[in-house]
Amino acid sequence: MVVVESYVKKWGNSLGVVIPMEAVKSMKIKEKDKIVVDIMTKKRINGFGVFKGAKPFVREEDILDREF
């Protein structure tokens, strides 16, 4: 099994996925071979407000300066 990341492209009235050549060579895939594709979308996470109420960031240098 090989895991690759690829983009979906328009192909006529359909959508297609291009398989990178390194994956083709490692799996010895040929034209007209039947393959199984597991599809997972990459979603962006809206992180706005995730750390609301968290303690402010303090640099280590600032902590060391206060100790001496």
Report the alpha-carbon distance of residue 64 to residue 53 in Å, rounded.
25
Structure tokens at 68: 């001496």
Residue pair 19/29 in contact by the 8 Å Cβ criterion: yes
What's the Cα-to-Cα distance from 17 to each of 20, 25, 51, 56, 60, rounded to whole Å? Answer: 10, 17, 37, 44, 47
Per the model's pLDDT, the better-predicted residue between 53 and 28 turns out to be 28
- pLDDT tens column, 37-65: 988 888 877 777 778 888 887 777 766 66
